[in-house]
Copies of this chain bind each other. A is one copy, B any other.
Amino acid sequence: MSDVAREVGVSAKTVSRVVNDDVHVSPETAARINEAIERLGFRRNESARLLRQGTALTVGLLLEDVADPFYGTLTRAIEECVLAHGRQLLVSSSAEDARRADHLVGAFVSRGVGGLILAPAMGMDEKLLADQQAKRCPVVVFDRPLEGLGVDTVLADNRRGAIAGVRHLIEHGHRRIAFFGDAESVYTARERRAGYGEALADAGIALDSDLVVMAQPGESAAEESLAGLAALADPPTAVFAGNNRWSVQLLRAVGRHPMNLAFVGFDDFELADVLDPGVTVVTQDPAAMGRVAAELLFRRIEGDDGPAQRIQLSTSLVARGSGEKPGPFVK
């Protein structure tokens, strides 16, 4: 920067003003400075700016796993928004591990990120995040809430989505409907199961805990659970999968051991429409979730300090065939 200043014959501060689009520079000087910047290939050293100002032009994103298509899509949407604001994204996967998540938040903080977007892992240190907010590093959470902390939040309407999916199966004549959800510790899994329970209750169907599986999705877990269900005296005629990881695992298992089950899954996934029959799903929109989270963050970064918002994104049911197989109680 001093090189540029010397070249043009002004002080470093004037160059700094130009770089920061300060208005108090004569257009003519600014033009000369810009020309020199171009010519010398000058690029501001962000670390020095950061050291002085205390906040980097960077946003930290903490999610469960970038390799998961849901989070991948969301990441891309956030990235676009962040880029449009002249910033860059630090991305880390918590792997659903609270200690790792805490460590990563610390790493973001010591790098001076200007904001934090995260899907909180169960058991994270909320004080760490509260401290950040206090230090004017805005925090936005998505996918799961962080109770107690007054923080902007973007969630899918998990409960209503699950109700819609399960009700859809009931309307097609099913009364024995199995539910597969992620581990009990995962907020979305609990919400979706609650929705499942509500939909059954609304239809006057008693909840049978034999039909409820709450566990981390996995190939062998899918096989074993399905075998267990098939062996019941009164086996299910339909399955509701609580997330797309379960959908994929279950479809794989069902493909190997045909059981003629109706199927609805929460969250869409690639090729759901190409499978035969097409897979009926309750979709959420990960890109929209990312966009909304990023927008909330930038509103805070730009100074808004109104009360914390909680935005719920609606879901919608996409019927493709698997959820419309008639059950034994067809009306």
Let me know if B89 and A90 touch, CB within 8 A.
yes
Task: State which of B45, B67, B79 has its C-beta within 8 Å of the C-beta of A92.
Answer: B79
Question: Which of these, B58, B72, B110, B251, contacts A66 with CB under 8 Å?
Answer: B72
Cα–Cα, bound, A73→B83 (Å): 22
CB distance from A2 to the nearest CB of B (A): 15
CB pair A111–B47 under 8 Å, yes or no, is: yes
Q: B79, B251, B271, B276: which contacts A248 (Cβ < 8 A)?
A: B271
Which residue of B72, B107, B112, B269 contacts A72 across the interface (Cβ within 8 Å)? B72
Residues of B within 8 A of A108 (CB): 88
Task: Given A47-B50, A270-B270, decide whether A79 and B58 contact each other with a Cβ distance below 8 A.
Answer: no
Indicate if A233 sits at the interface (CB-CB under 8 A): no
Q: Which of A92-114 contact B (CB under 8 A)?
A: 92-93, 104, 106-112
Chain B residues, CB < 8 A from A273: 252, 255
A51 CB-CB contact with B under 8 Å? yes
Contact of A76 with B by CB under 8 A: yes
The answer to the question of A173 belonging to the interface, with a C-beta cut-off of 8 Å to chain B, is no
Q: Using an 8 Å CB-CB cutoff, how does the interface string of A238-258 with B read, 1 for contact, 0 for none?
A: 000000000010011001000
- With A89-B92, A111-B47, A274-B251 already in contact, the answer to whether A67 and B58 are too (CB < 8 A) is no
A119 to chain B, nearest CB (A): 15
Whole-angstrom distance between the alpha carbons of A108 and B43 in the complex?
A: 11
Task: Mark contacts of A287-299 with chain B using CB atoms, 8 A cut-off: 1 yes-contact digit, 0 otherwise.
Answer: 0000000000000
- In the assembled complex, the Cα of A79 lies from the Cα of B248 at a distance in Å of 25
**Assembly CA distance A72 to B70 (angstroms):** 10
- Give the residues in chain B near A46, CB-CB below 8 Å: 110-112
Chain B residues whose CB sits within 8 angstroms of the CB of A51 once the complex forms = 45, 47-48, 50-51
Given A45-B110, A69-B72, A271-B271, 17 further pairs, Cβ under 8 A: A43-B109, A43-B110, A44-B110, A45-B51, A46-B112, A48-B51, A50-B51, A66-B91, A67-B72, A67-B76, A69-B270, A71-B72, A75-B91, A79-B93, A252-B271, A255-B273, A270-B270
Q: List 6 A-B contacts (CB under 8 A).
A: A50-B51, A66-B75, A71-B72, A255-B273, A269-B271, A270-B271
